Structures are given as structure tokens and as C-alpha cells.
Structure 1
């Protein structure tokens, strides 16, 4: 068994100290095989300050669409969700406060050793998730609950915060029977949770400023993708490439889709406006207190310019209108979206 895995310590990063190994063994509780290969090498990316972009937001807010549009750009690699980073960052956040922080300071581990250990693991996890690229990207929606912590350990990181009308988010969660956490929530509880999570992300994004964190409404991306993607690529610092507007035609050429992610089936179609307004229809899953009244009491809907009913998200680019009309005539598309609209 040892001989079978003897190659692992040689294939990753060089120069990690025994202190880093101790941190992983005693604090992270990672499987021993991860610890072995992580402890023998140091990520070249940390030394090179390689550009790294984190895409996130409340689940069902367009993070998957954003990541596949970035992924088809020849200079960017942005793979499926890791499902590891949010939990890892939750633990790091706990180390930054109170008794845990004091104990780590006394042990000589905080902040330098802790930050370097976490940064090394995150860099390597993302780097080895796929082929190399000039800009590496990660999309785990709830990672952006920890923007400040990530920015502290990876100062060169940039963040794209996707937001979406909370009424549409709740409608999508209910229709697709998606849970965030162990408990079954009512639609109103889901709406309140959306408010709390999104407020937290927004405040951190605002504190970092527009040069580091770019907020984008899902509705704006759907209605005006060329306008919005030009801004996004400029924010990241890569040249404009119209291929990002044709993600559905290139998905088999390098972009990896995870069949276990709820949005995978949707992003296989071109961008269209069908998902935007379903929550407002009379057959919506939303109770009237959310569908008809939430825009009158939700400060977050007002802040994000969603405080109206019926919804008015703006004017779509002509290409998007034509694309939507064409898709509606497609039988497979109608079966997927109108029987199970998101």
C-alpha cells in the first residue's frame, strides 16, 4: 500500500515546513493522505502571485452561469464546485476570533503560519482541479461568506459576487427541492436566510472596494451579457473574447460540468430570459406574502433595485430576445424549462 502511494509527495508543492504539517494534523483534521502530499511541497502559485478569482453568492443566484462563461475564455480556468472551501473557510474564520485566536498566538502559529498553510492548501486544491491557465478561478457559492478571510490570506484574489432577486431564489429552491443546511425551511424562512447571507456578502464586498470585489446582478447578466461580461473581464484583467457569449456551443471542449450540481442542465442552453419571471406568475410556489408583499418591506430588495411588482429588470439585448424566442420553439427546451422552470 505504501509503495502504491509513494509518488504522492513528489508531485505537489515544495518547501512546506514541519510547522505547516503540524497545523494540518492538529487543526484541519484532513485525511492523512492529503496531509502527506501537502506537507512535502509548497505551491509555486503563492510565490508567483498567480491571478485567482472567486465566484460566489447565495445558491441559485447565477454562479454556475458565470463560472461556465468564464471557463470558456482561453485565459481562464474555472471548474466545478469543490464543496470543500466553504467548510475550510468556516474553520479559518473560527481561528480568527476569541479563545482559538489567543491559543494559536501563544503557540506561535497565528497569523503567519495559519494563513500560509490555508493559502497553500487552497491554491493547490484549485490548481489541481483542472488544467493550468493564466487565471485560475473557483466557484463555490458560499465561499463568499468569507471574503474578508480569503482576502487576508490571498491578497491578490479578486471576487465576483452574484446576486439575484430573492423572490426568484426562493422560488427556485422550492421548485427544485434544494436545501441549504440540515433543516427544512418554509419559503419565508428561506427568504430571510437569503437576506441574511446576501447582506453579509454585500457588506464584505463593499468593504474591499470595486477594484477587488465586483457585484453583478444575475438579471443584468442574462439581459445584457455582452455589456456585463466586458465589465467582468476588464475587472479580472483579461482581454475581451466573444466566446464567453457562446458558452453553450463550447461546453464539450474543456469546460467540465458536474452532473450532481442542480444548475448543470440549465447552462447547457444558451442564455435566455425564461427563468427571470416565473416566480411572479400566479402558479408560482411563493406564498403571496413573499410574491406580492416582500418588495414593500425588504430593505435588501430595495438596495438591489428589486423593490417592485411586477418585476422590471430592464431591457434585454436584441440577441438575447432572439435567442429566447428560438429556444421557446424547441420542444426539448420547453419540456425542461416549462415543466421544471427555475
Structure 2
């Protein structure tokens, strides 16, 4: 989203925060400094970090989305919800909706942000999404997470992150269908439930 907005001639958002890469660097250093001397294998350590991070990530996501929805619902006209799944399936429609909300004229170059990297769009190679931003808007990332989470984790999603289901995400499948996000009446339904 940031790169798409940065491609507009009147917008500059700046780079991503570097929190996740910083954490992973810290974790790698901690592993070598402490864990190697403790007798804990790399596999056990990585498994424990993965289980903790996954559940913590979903719980934090749920907490932050709850706050954002509350704030957005209480600031009509000042906040707009954008669903990633809709953005990448209906990019022109969504970008036009976003620019209209921001009071900007739609610029077709926003749909070609990947061609403007280094000129209009700044990109730090260490940004988490750098590999994706270099490409045109596509639906590949919709399924790239499939099989990244254990069945146990997926079974706990309704408890850890109940907002996923409320917002229309199918938490009962590791291979969900996102076509409902591309429906023409998607936002009419969303106004009722989110």
C-alpha cells in the first residue's frame, strides 16, 4: 500500500519500520551467544520461538485490528478500511476509491509502482516487503502463507484472533477462498458487520 501511494506524484509515505528484521537479527545473535552453551538445539529453540511468535502475532493482530476498527468506526469520514485481498484482486477500483477518499486525483502510475522504484518510490532492500513491492500488483501473496501454520495453530485461530472470522476470513481452512473480497457488493456487506 505504501509503495502504491508513494507512486502518486503528490504523496510521500516513507519507508517501512524495521522492527521485524531487527527482532530476527536480535534472535539470531541471542541464539548463538546463549543457546549454544545451554545444550538447547537450534531446532528446539526455533520451534519454541515459532510457536510463541505465531500465537503472539495473531493475538497482537486481533488486539490492534480491534482498536483500529473502533477508531475508524468512531471517525466517519476520517478513516477508510482497505482490505488487502480486495486491493490486489480489484486494484484499479480500490486505488480509485482510496484516492477519492484522500481528495487526490487518481494517477494510473499508482498501479505501476514497481516501475517507479528508485525514482518516485523509495525502497530499502531490508524492508520486509521489498521482494513483493518490486513486482506489479498480483495475487501470488494471497496463497503464499498456505502451509506456513500448523493445523494446531489454525484450529486455535478462532480463539486467538476471533476478528478474522468477523471480518470475513475463513479460519477453518488452510486454503481459503478470497473471491468474496472481489464481489461488487463487498463494501455494502462490510458496512453491516465491521
TM-score by length of 2: 0.68
1:192 pairs, out of 53, 59, 63, with 59
8 Å CA contact 2:59, 2:161 repeated in 1: no
Q: Tell me, yes or no, if structure 1 residue 303 matches structure 2 residue 166.
A: yes
Distance 1:76 1:234, change over 3 A: same
- 1:298 deviates by 4.3
Distance 1:177 1:307, change over 3 A: farther
Provide Cα deviations, 1:189-237, integer angstroms capped at 9, x if missing partner. 321122112212221122112x101111111111111111010000000
Q: Which residue of 1 aligns with 2:7?
A: 72
- 1:274 deviates by 1.2
- 1:295 deviates by 4.8
Q: Which residue of 2 aligns with 1:288?
A: 151
- 1:278 deviates by 2.7
Write out aligned runs for 1:78-227 (5 A): 78-81=13-16, 184=49, 185-209=52-76, 211-227=77-93
Q: Which residue of 1 aligns with 2:123?
A: 257
Q: Aligned equivalents of 1:70 and 1:278: distance in 2?
A: 24
Q: Aligned equivalents of 1:296 and 1:197: distance in 2?
A: 16
Distance 1:81 1:191, change over 3 A: closer
Runs of 4 or more off by more than 4 Å in structure 1?
176-179, 295-298
Rg comparison, structure with higher value = 1
- 1:296 deviates by 7.9
Q: Secondary structure at the match of 1:307?
A: coil
- 1:254 deviates by 2.5
- 1:275 deviates by 1.1
Q: Aligned equivalents of 2:5 and 2:14: distance in 1?
A: 10
- 1:294 deviates by 2.4
2:99 pairs, out of 215, 228, 233, with 233
Q: Secondary structure at the match of 2:12?
A: strand
Provide Cα deviations, 1:248-267, integer angstroms capped at 9, x if missing partner. 11213222112231112220
Q: Aligned equivalents of 2:145 and 2:89: distance in 1?
A: 17
Structure 2 portions without partners, runs of 5+: 28-48, 183-194
- 1:240 deviates by 1.3
The structure carrying a bigger strand percent of its residues is 1
8 Å CA contact 1:72, 1:243 repeated in 2: yes
TM-score by length of 1: 0.41
Aligned residues: 157
RMSD (Å) for aligned C-alpha atoms: 3.1
Provide Cα deviations, 1:150-206, integer angstroms capped at 9, x if missing partner. xxxxxxxxxxxxxxxxxxxxxxx8xx8966x99x53422321122112212221122
